Amino acid sequence: MEHTRIIIRPLVTEKSTHQQATRNVYSFEVDKRADKTQIKQAVEKLYDVKVVDVRTMTRKGKSRRTKVGFVEGSNWKRALVVLDENSRIELF
């Protein structure tokens, strides 16, 4: 799988911004089929940083109400990437 297809987008939330400042941890939405080593290689290649650890979780899609009933959203995968203390990613 290509590196640009593994990392879908960075997650910028209040919690992830706080973790970036205090722990040097960045959150990404990643492809559901990607494993930890592929995510590590993709982040190192795309952002030119040194990755120390990768933690992943599969998030359940939210159910939404429509005219005809309830519809389940699709599941997605989130990766928390811990960087070396000398590495930083500038998202903006």
Q: What is the pLDDT of residues 23-61, one digit of tens each?
A: 999 999 999 999 999 999 999 999 999 999 999 999 999
Secondary structure (3-state) at 27: strand
> What is the pTM (predicted TM-score) of this model?
0.90
Share of the chain above pLDDT 90, in %: 92
Query: CA angle 10-34-63, nearest 5°?
Result: 65
Confidence of residue 91 (pLDDT cuts 50, 70, 90): confident
> Any idea which fold 3-83 has?
Alpha-Beta Plaits (3.30.70)
List Cα–Cα distances, 71 to 11, 20, 68, in angstroms: 24, 34, 9
Identify the pLDDT of residue 1.
81
- Hey, where are the domains in the chain? 3-83
Tokens of 8: 């879908």
